[in-house]
Amino acid sequence: MNQLRPTTAIVDLDALRHNFVATRAFVGPRVRVLAAVKGDAYGHGAVATARALSSAGCEAFGVALVEEGAQLRDAGVAGLVLCMGGVGRHGAEEAVRRELTPVLYDEGDAERLDAAARAAGRRLAVHVKVDTGMGRLGVPLPHYARFLDRLAHFEALDVEGLMTHFAESEAEDATFTREQLRRFKQAVATTRARGYHPRLLHAANSGAVLRHPESHFDLVRPGIMLYGEPPSPGVSLRPVMRVVTRVLFVKDLPRGASVSYGRRFVTARPSRIATLPLGYADGLPRAVSGRAQVIVNGRRCDVVGTVCMDLCMIDVTDLGEPVESGDEVVIIGKVGNVEVRAAEVATWAGTIPYEVLCGFSERVPRRHESAP
């Protein structure tokens, strides 16, 4: 079916390519760049995003799930596809079949991957993850040497990479990040002492790419910065996603009229209220109720009342020209010199731009655009 509703997320593939090239220039020619495209490329559309990045020279991609890696392979995406969440109890055979590179941190996964690789008559490259303080995935440092000794029994597995993940690389206080780096270097020394010589050491996410060049090693794993929302300054980046909709309905309300659930907003004057076909089921967080602003006719307008599942309301009383049904409204994006960024929406919602970008649901069509 053709798109009927006006709410759309427009993805600027030229901006995406620009951000990748800028990141690659920032880290230098000796460091590879793995683009994080997990979570449907942070809500931007994994297949279109990976294809655009490939055209810009990207040869490595990071996903969370085997299913996400399989989606890229089905779309013809070549190069390294790193399954950063591992393969779990049921993903070993699919990972081998799709030529994905699993992140390894569990002995049971190693056994299953080794069996699947042997059954396929091939060797499988893996990246071992060590936990240096994130406390999420990764082999704990006290058990790391034993893990490597056990790994030697799985002859179909080749340790191509060694990795860790930072807990707060974007923080002004770098004390814990430096400690994680120290622990990672300790793990590197242990790995080499056990006879492994991984050719790809990597630790840096976007924050570390920008703030901690000593963590770049052989490969970096930028995510949010590729999509134009850097966790700290350092590279000239362009926002990639623009979310727009159109006014659904306009009404004039007298002073003292309430708007939306809970009557959290009551007009203090005669007001002109526009209803938009966008709500929290689309990805506009309910938490921005009474805090957010959108752009109409080049000016900011307040979101008033409680954001509903499918709708929200804005106050257009003070606009110099009348607002009518069908007028464009920018939720995230820029009109002239007026801009609303995902980071600002995140502040209104009390969250982070990652969640805002990932939160736009499947019922918001993505339109991928690129200059001819």
DSSP H/E element including 313: strand 312-315
Q: What phi and psi values does residue 47 have, to the nearest 5 degrees?
A: -65, -50
Angle between helices 144-151 and 107-119 in degrees, nearest 10: 20
The C-alpha angle with vertex 10 and arms to 9 and 13, in degrees rounded to 5, equals 135
- Bridge partners of residue 244, in order along the sequence: 8, 330
Angle between helices 13-27 and 46-55 in degrees, nearest 10: 50
C-beta separation of 369 from 238 below 8 A: no
67 token code pair:
């299913």
42 token code pair:
């942070």
Please give, one letter per residue, the 3-state secondary structure of 112-176. Answer: HHHHHHHHCCCCEEEEEEEECCCCCCCEEHHHHHHHHHHHCCCCCEEEEEEECCCCCCCCCCCHH
Q: What phi and psi values does residue 237 have, to the nearest 5 degrees?
A: -120, 155
The C-alpha angle with vertex 39 and arms to 70 and 227, in degrees rounded to 5, equals 115
- Rounded distance between C-alpha atoms, residue 371 and residue 354, angstroms: 26
- Rounded distance between C-alpha atoms, residue 316 and residue 301, angstroms: 6
Catalytic positions are: 38, 261
